[in-house]
DNA sequence: TTGAGAACAACTCAATCTGAGAACAACTTA
DNA sequence: TAAGTTGTTCTCAGATTGAGTTGTTCTCAA
């Protein structure tokens, strides 16, 4: 039976109540470590557990708009700085028993943000914080948010391979070394600096030179690095593939 | 307030009514062309237009289960043959005005199926048919299903690059040529037979030899081809990348 | 002021991978 | 039996990759 026939002469209240929420896996890099925006829940269910920022989708807003609104509320961000955050849909989670209160389908989103100020307490006044992803165990997480976060992290690692979205973790102008550090942080292992440099500059539209340089060399020495901004490519061709991992070697 | 008190005082009806449906972009290959399972709508809105098979998610079923159920209803498939169909979540579509009757969030899924019998008329008795994707214009499609189909096709093209899912369009045993034809059909351009052969056999876990061969050579001659079955890899390393297209050359 | 160490950028080189074509045997149909 | 087709393997030049080296510019501390 399809939805259209079902809905002809519909009354929404005839059908099982389903709530639709948007949740956001917001990632940023602070102090060389990948961090995740989390809320400490003050009320049941899962009081005291960490949860993803999120909430009900409003009647007049698109899913992406709702996700961006939730992100804005939790980070206190607005305007140009909010607009620079990359936001994409991650997937929907709708196991019948994932929320003990009622049937809730959550449309999860994934956000890449440059280093941001500390999050602000929401109107709901739960504690909000950037937490290193390494500090998480799924035991501390509400609902199926551990699973959603795992999926988000894997999506993030994968997206760096074939899109230029690593630049979204950085300020508008950045050095190749900073860009490499994004990859190293998200992928979790070091890359060869020289080869990375060559590769980034050889992929059309990945980065473009600003002509400028950093004010100073590195913290412990070295020349001033050239500055780049994101290019206009939406996909990287050829891609920057992760080195094969053990599980792929078979 | 403890969890029990909270749940007791919780009224789902306090929240905006949203309907959640599952829709399926089901792809198969017939006669060397990519086909899509579509339903002809009998009733308004969009009467006479083509639409994706789909319907309400049931109170006790997961999203993926709902999608598989819709697919089963529309194809008449069951058991082992249904189980062999690859099904994954594509994304959710929830623009406030995408359905003129009420707020409907559709969780779209993507399915890869081997060549199947003609679809059966559903209980709803709308016409169901496998349609070549080249025969579609979005003008003929209901709701935002044109957009969903476009996203599904792009996802399919991309998935063939880094997963072994092309095998899901084929019978359990297949030849390298048949596998290449899947790629050519989905990607829409011919591939070099020799290089494809070399590449497929060199990727660990993509295919494994059955030891057997086809009964006959090709329709117009040639030797018998060796038979393979899908290997146990879930990802292809290294990936089978599509040749760069114009838009990527910049 | 200078020496030591660090880091950016460019280069080298061997190993590997890719694209394009050719070879050849096993099969088909006419 | 001849002619054409196809599956598979091989060849080879060009591109890409991984790993290391070099040269230079800079910071910090003696």
Of the listed ranges A75-79, B4-8, B134-138, B199-203, the least confidently predicted one is B4-8
Per-residue confidence at A2, pLDDT binned at 50, 70, 90?
A: very low
Report CA(B220)–C1'(D4) in Å, whole number.
8
Task: Report whether pLDDT(B90) > 70.
Answer: yes
**What is the C-alpha to C-alpha distance for residues B160 and B186, in angstroms, rounded to an integer?**
8
Element (H, E) at B209: strand B207-213
Mean pLDDT of B81-106: 96
What are the phi and psi torsion angles at B129 (to 5°)?
-155, 150
Q: Which of A60, A229, B74 is nearest to A69 (CA)?
A: A60
The partner residues of B228 in beta bridges, in order of sequence, read B174, B209
Task: Report whether pLDDT(B201) > 50.
Answer: yes
Per-residue confidence at B210, pLDDT binned at 50, 70, 90?
A: very high
Using one digit for the tens of pLDDT, what is the confidence trace for A207-217? Answer: 999 999 999 87
Of the listed ranges A37-41, A116-120, B21-25, the least confidently predicted one is A116-120
B218 sits in the region (left: phi over 0; alpha: psi -120 to 50; else beta) called: beta
Mean pLDDT of B205-230: 94
Q: Which of B5, B7, B9, B17 to mutate to test the interface with A (most CBs of A within 10 A)?
A: B17
**What is the C-alpha to C-alpha distance for residues B186 and B12, in angstroms, rounded to an integer?**
44
Using one digit for the tens of pLDDT, what is the confidence trace for A189-244? Answer: 999 999 999 999 999 999 999 999 999 877 788 899 999 999 999 999 999 999 87
| Interface size between A and B, measured as CB pairs under 8 A | 160
**What is the C-alpha to C-alpha distance for residues B206 and A162, in angstroms, rounded to an integer?**
21
Nucleotide nearest to B177 (CA to C1'): D7
Gap from A223 CA to chain B (nearest CA, Å): 32
What the block records as the tokens of B236 is 């292809």
Q: Which of A73, A80, A88, A127 is catalytic?
A: A127
Q: Which residues have Cβ atoms closer than 7 angstroms to strand D?
A: A 192, 194-195, 198-199, 202, 216-224, 238, 241, 243; B 175-177, 193-195, 197-198, 201, 217-226
A35 class by beta-carbon count within 10 Å (0-12 exposed, 13-18 middle, 19+ buried): buried
**What is the C-alpha to C-alpha distance for residues B179 and B169, in angstroms, rounded to an integer?**
9
What the block records as the tokens of A115 is 């280093």
Using one digit for the tens of pLDDT, what is the confidence trace for A82-109? Answer: 999 999 999 999 999 999 999 999 999 9
Closest residue by C-alpha to C1' distance, nucleotide D17: A195
**What is the C-alpha to C-alpha distance for residues A166 and A236, in angstroms, rounded to an integer?**
11
The DSSP line for B48-111 is TSEE-SEEEPPTT--HHHHHHHHHHHHH---HHHHHTSEEEEEEEE--TTSSSSS-EEEEEEEE
pLDDT at residue A127, as a whole number: 84
CA dihedral angle for residue B109, residue B113, residue B116, residue B118, rounded to 10 degrees: 20
If you ran DSSP here, which 8-state letter would residue A221 be given?
B
3-state percent breakdown (helix, strand, coil) of chain A, nearest 5: 30, 25, 40
Using one digit for the tens of pLDDT, what is the confidence trace for B42-75? Answer: 888 999 999 999 999 999 999 999 999 999 998 8
Q: State the residue for tokens 């679809």.
A: B119
Of the listed ranges A9-23, B24-38, B172-186, the least confidently predicted one is A9-23
Beta-carbon count within 10 A of B30 CB: 12
Measured between its terminal Cα atoms, the distance across chain A in Å is 44
Helix (H, G, I), strand (E, B) or coil at A88: strand
pLDDT at residue B121, as a whole number: 59
Determine whether the interchain pair B105/A101 forms a contact, defined as Cβ–Cβ distance below 8 Å.
Answer: no
**Largest alpha-carbon pair distance within chain A?**
73
Measured between its terminal Cα atoms, the distance across chain B in Å is 60
What are the phi and psi torsion angles at A210 (to 5°)?
-90, -15
Nearest to B62 among A12, A96, A249 (CB): A96
Q: What angle do CA A11, B48, A4 make, to 5 degrees?
A: 20
Using one digit for the tens of pLDDT, what is the confidence trace for A132-188? Answer: 999 988 789 999 999 999 999 999 999 999 999 999 999 999 999 999 999 999 999
pLDDT above 90 coverage of chain A, percent: 75
- Annotation marks residue B127 as catalytic: yes
Helix (H, G, I), strand (E, B) or coil at A104: strand
């Amino acid at each position: 039976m399809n939805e259209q026939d079902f809905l002809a002469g519909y009354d929404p209240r005839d059908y099982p109540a389903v709530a639709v929420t948007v949740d956001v896996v917001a990632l940023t890099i602070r102090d060389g470590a990948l961090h995740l925006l989390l809320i400490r829940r003050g009320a049941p269910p899962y009081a005291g557990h960490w949860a993803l920022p999120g909430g009900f989708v409003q009647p007049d807003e698109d899913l992406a708009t709702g996700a961006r609104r939730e992100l804005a509320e939790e980070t206190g961000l607005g305007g140009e700085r909010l607009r620079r955050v990359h936001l994409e849909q991650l997937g929907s989670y709708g196991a019948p028993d994932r929320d003990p209160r009622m049937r809730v389908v959550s449309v999860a989103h994934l956000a890449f943000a440059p280093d941001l100020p500390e999050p602000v307490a929401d109107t709901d006044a739960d504690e909000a914080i950037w937490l290193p992803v390494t500090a998480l165990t799924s035991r501390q997480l509400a609902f199926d948010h551990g699973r959603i976060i795992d999926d988000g992290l894997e999506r993030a690692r994968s997206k760096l391979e074939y899109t230029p979205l690593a630049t979204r973790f950085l300020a508008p102008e950045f050095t190749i070394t900073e860009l490499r550090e994004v990859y190293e942080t998200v992928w979790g292992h070091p890359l060869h600096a020289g080869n990375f440099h060559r590769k980034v500059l050889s992929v059309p539209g990945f980065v473009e030179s600003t002509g400028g340089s950093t004010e100073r060399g590195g913290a412990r020495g070295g020349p001033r690095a050239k500055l780049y901004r994101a290019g206009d490519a939406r996909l990287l061709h050829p891609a920057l593939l992760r080195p094969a991992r053990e599980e792929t070697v078979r």
